[in-house]
């Protein structure tokens, strides 16, 4: 196995960071979030338009 | 939904500022929503006039540090057969709910596999908590209601089978037929005599 260069290390860190990233959706009735109504958010999940593992309200 | 778990989390940490979900319509998007995946709710206030429906799909539905208040219907309708779903409430306040069929409208028949747990919760000033006891006392083997407070509810239990599942509770009714280590206290006190906020 060849020696890891700085470039390899950076690519490895970026890959691991991406794998650990969770899929978040946000909800706020006052705006400023991905969705403003709970019903729209659920409909998007049911339609498989989004596939979050976390919803922040 | 392809994921195995969904976390729905309020970003406010002060209970009086938790985000409020008002279930004010019978939107079909809610129907069977909980059947898709395991869902974990945290730091949310629920209110409204339409129930969340849980059917038997073998999923986990857990509520932690939530508030359920002023519902005019049942909060959740549990419709289960002989499946292996889990419904759990932890450190949740149930206050001022007036649904005639209780906070939990149970339509449970047969089976003993539903895990139903309520821990460290407070039930104060509700019209009723459970619509009935389930249709089969053997199902209670997987039910556990521990370390909860029951105060000022018009009806706490619909019958004695559920009382036997209650352990380590404080209750404003007599402890007759309760489970182990329950304490009766007819003068349970809160920080405010009239309670408008979760921290009262």
Report yes or no: A14 at the B interface, CB cutoff 8 Å. Answer: no
Query: What span, in angstroms and rounded, lies between the C-alpha atoms of B176 and B166?
Result: 11
Q: Distance from first CA to last CA of chain B, Å, rounded? A: 39
Beta-carbon neighbour count of residue B144 at 10 Å?
A: 16
What is the C-alpha separation between B2 and B66, in angstroms, rounded?
Answer: 26
User: Which of B1, B19, B36 has its CB closest to that of A57?
Assistant: B19
| Pair A56, A32: CB distance under 8 Å | no
**Rg of chain B in Å (alpha carbons):** 16
Largest CA distance in chain A: 55
**Are B2 and A42 inside 8 Å of each other by CB?**
no
Q: Quick check: B175 contacting A, CB < 8 Å?
A: no
Mutate to test the interface with B, among A43, A50, A53 (most CBs of B within 10 A): A53
> In chain A, which residues have their Cβ closer than 8 Å to the Cβ of B25?
39
- Give, as one character, the DSSP assignment of residue B69: E
> Residue B199 CB: number of other CB atoms within 10 A?
12
Cβ pair B2, A15 in contact under 8 A:
no
CB contact, 8 Å: A52 with chain B? Answer: yes
**Chain B residues with CB inside 8 Å of A37's CB?**
none
> What pLDDT does A11 receive?
57
What ipTM goes with this model? Answer: 0.85
- If you write DSSP's letter for every residue of A1-57 in order, what string do you get? -PPPPHHHHHHHHHHHHHHT---EEEB-TTSSSSBS-HHHHHHHHHTTS---SEEE-
Strand partners, B13: none
B1 vs A48: CB contact, 8 Å cut-off?
Answer: yes
Size of interface A-B (CB pairs under 8 A): 46
pLDDT at B134: 73
Residue B89: alpha-carbon gap to chain centroid: 6
Average pLDDT of adjacent 10-residue blocks, chain A of 57 residues: 61 49 83 88 86 92
Identify the pLDDT of residue B27.
72
What's the token pair of residue B6?
Answer: 């969904």
Inspect the interface and report whether the beta carbons of A39 and B44 lie closer than 8 Å: no
Look at A56 and B9 and tell me if their CB atoms are within 8 Å: yes
For chain B, residues with pLDDT lower than 50 are none
Distances in Å between the Cα of B9 and the Cα atoms of A24, A54, B30, B73 are 11, 7, 18, 24
> Given CB atoms, is A39 within the 8 Å cutoff of chain B?
yes
Q: Which residue in B1, B5, B11 is closest to A45 by CB distance?
A: B1
Which chain B residue shows the shortest CA-CA distance from A56? Answer: B9
């Amino acid at each position: 196995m060849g020696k890891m260069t700085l470039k390899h290390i950076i690519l490895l860190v970026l890959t691991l960071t991406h794998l650990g990233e969770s899929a978040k959706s946000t909800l706020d009735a006052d705006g400023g979030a991905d969705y403003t109504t709970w019903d729209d958010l659920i409909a998007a999940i049911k339609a498989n338009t989004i596939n979050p593992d976390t919803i922040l309200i | 939904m392809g994921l195995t778990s969904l976390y729905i989390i309020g970003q406010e940490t002060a209970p009086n500022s938790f985000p409020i979900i008002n279930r004010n319509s019978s939107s079909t998007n809610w129907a069977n929503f909980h059947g898709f995946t395991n869902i974990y709710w945290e730091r949310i206030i629920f209110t409204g006039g339409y129930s969340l429906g849980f059917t038997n799909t073998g999923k986990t539905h857990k509520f932690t540090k939530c508030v359920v208040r002023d519902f005019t219907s049942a909060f959740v309708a549990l419709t289960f057969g002989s499946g292996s779903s889990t419904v759990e409430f932890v450190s949740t306040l149930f206050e001022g709910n007036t649904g005639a069929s209780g906070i939990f409208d149970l339509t449970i028949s047969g089976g003993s596999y539903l895990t139903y747990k309520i821990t460290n919760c407070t039930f104060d000033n509700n019209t009723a908590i459970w619509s009935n006891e389930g249709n089969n006392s053997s199902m209670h083997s997987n039910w556990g209601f521990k370390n909860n407070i029951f105060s000022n509810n018009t009806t706490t239990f619909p019958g004695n089978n559920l009382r036997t599942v209650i352990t380590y509770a404080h209750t404003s009714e007599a402890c007759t037929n309760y489970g182990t280590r329950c304490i009766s206290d007819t003068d349970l006190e809160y920080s405010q005599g009239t309670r408008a906020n979760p921290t009262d």
